[in-house]
């Protein structure tokens, strides 16, 4: 299930959910307020509509590198503000994806204004010197070694992505290729920051014990004082050519203790989808591989006993084409060929025969229930809205999502399944041990 598409209640049930509101400051900053008065705390998130897929050619990893550098201090706060956030009893972090970069803090409500002032300062006052940039570049290189070079699973993920997306930047790792990270400079970071870190390319999401009027007053006093300093270009990325043959990558490593089979297809994201394809793919992934009642789990794990685990996923939150995938972990005495045949049989059956009314109703109930449970976490809701708005969605898209899920007819699932899960359009990834 994709994180950006499990929103707060919408449609007929929306009155029971939080009274979410949004508005724009004069400088173009989009502000979203999600009231939650159960505790006197707030989650403050600033989302920039820029990520790994927006990087200049040959500068892979600059978006993630800049995320690191944003914690190194400004002219006004030369020591950064992580220590100050901690002293206020708050928590903070940041993350970079292909399509956005986000920074967040969770603090007592009386400190929200201070968080806004800090982030508004980082939007323009970042102080970068070679003494700061060069050691941090080495930190990122070490991070890549730890998370990718020393992890066969991550290595396979990179190979699958670069094989599925041969032309689109979604095939380039967010952390960057090692040789290109080594070439990143202070000037690269400054230019990237100046081009994309501007109020009119950002979304402020505040969830917690506060009203829209209070958020507006604080935002205008802090973020509202930051001038628009760039007009980010349209997000026009190179698109993938038609894939005519299945592709396969196989990685063997002595460190692998648990083999895994994966198969990925390119699929329309919610933003790129037409006629409700996104909702259909969410339901399809739920029925095919969403937990222990799913078809893959029942068939491969319970009945045939060829896998110890199996599932499916759909990453609907993306600016461009995204992925639909299935995966399974074979039992010790089962080879990949046997496992793949069993998976192909289940995929073929669902796209040829469709789903039962009971399966469809159960999947709809599960997805909408997850939307309800998501409201128990203000930070989760803030992430859902921030992510969807950062890829081009609207507040209404999230609010109406449960209603659109409920309206999907059964005949759409095999129809969309045949178009997406087609032969000759996938990448199979195999990870196995090595003697």
The residues annotated as belonging to the active site are: 67
CA distances from 207 to 5, 24, 200, 217 (A): 17, 17, 21, 15
Q: Alpha-carbon distance 163 to 264, whole Å?
A: 10
Structure tokens of 263?
A: 């198969």
State the first-to-last Cα distance of the chain, in angstroms, to the nearest integer: 36
């Amino acid at each position: 299930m994709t994180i950006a598409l499990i929103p707060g209640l919408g449609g007929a049930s929306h009155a029971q959910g939080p009274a979410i509101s949004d508005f724009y400051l004069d400088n173009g900053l989009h502000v979203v307020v999600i009231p939650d008065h159960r505790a006197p705390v707030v989650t403050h998130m600033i989302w920039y509509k820029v990520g790994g897929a927006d990087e200049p050619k040959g500068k892979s990893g600059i978006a993630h590198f800049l995320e690191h550098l944003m914690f190194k201090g400004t002219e006004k706060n030369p020591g950064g503000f992580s220590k100050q956030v901690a002293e206020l009893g708050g928590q903070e972090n940041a993350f970079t994806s292909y399509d956005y970069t986000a920074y967040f803090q969770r603090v007592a409500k009386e400190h929200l204004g201070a968080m806004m002032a800090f982030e508004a300062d980082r939007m323009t006052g970042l102080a970068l010197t070679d003494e700061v940039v060069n050691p941090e570049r080495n930190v990122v290189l070490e991070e890549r070694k730890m998370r990718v070079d020393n992890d066969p699973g991550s290595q396979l993920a990179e190979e699958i992505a670069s094989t599925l997306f041969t032309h689109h930047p979604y095939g380039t790792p967010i952390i960057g290729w090692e040789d290109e990270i080594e070439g990143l400079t202070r000037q690269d970071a400054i230019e990237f920051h100046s081009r994309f870190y501007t109020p009119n390319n950002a979304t402020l999401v505040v969830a917690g014990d506060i009203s829209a009027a209070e958020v507006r007053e604080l935002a205008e006093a802090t973020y509202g004082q930051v001038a628009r300093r760039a007009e980010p270009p349209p997000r026009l990325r190179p698109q993938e050519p038609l894939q005519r043959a299945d592709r396969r990558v196989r990685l063997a490593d002595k460190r692998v203790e648990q083999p895994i089979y994966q198969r990925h297809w390119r699929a329309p994201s919610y933003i790129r989808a037409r006629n409700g394809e996104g909702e259909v793919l969410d339901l399809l992934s739920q029925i095919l591989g969403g937990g222990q009642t799913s078809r893959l789990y029942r068939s491969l794990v319970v009945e045939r006993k060829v896998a110890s685990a199996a599932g499916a996923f759909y990453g609907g939150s993306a600016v461009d084409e995204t992925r639909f995938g299935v995966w399974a972990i074979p039992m010790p005495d089962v080879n990949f060929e046997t496992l793949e045949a069993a998976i192909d049989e289940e995929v073929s059956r669902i796209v040829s025969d469709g789903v039962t009314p009971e399966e469809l109703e159960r999947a709809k109930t599960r997805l909408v229930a997850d939307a309800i449970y998501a409201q128990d976490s203000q930070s989760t809701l803030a992430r859902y809205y921030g992510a969807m708005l950062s890829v081009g969605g609207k507040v209404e898209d999230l609010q109406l999502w449960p209603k659109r899920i409920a309206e999907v007819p059964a005949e759409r699932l095999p129809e969309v399944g045949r178009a997406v899960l087609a032969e000759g359009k996938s990448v199979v990834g195999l990870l196995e041990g090595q003697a």
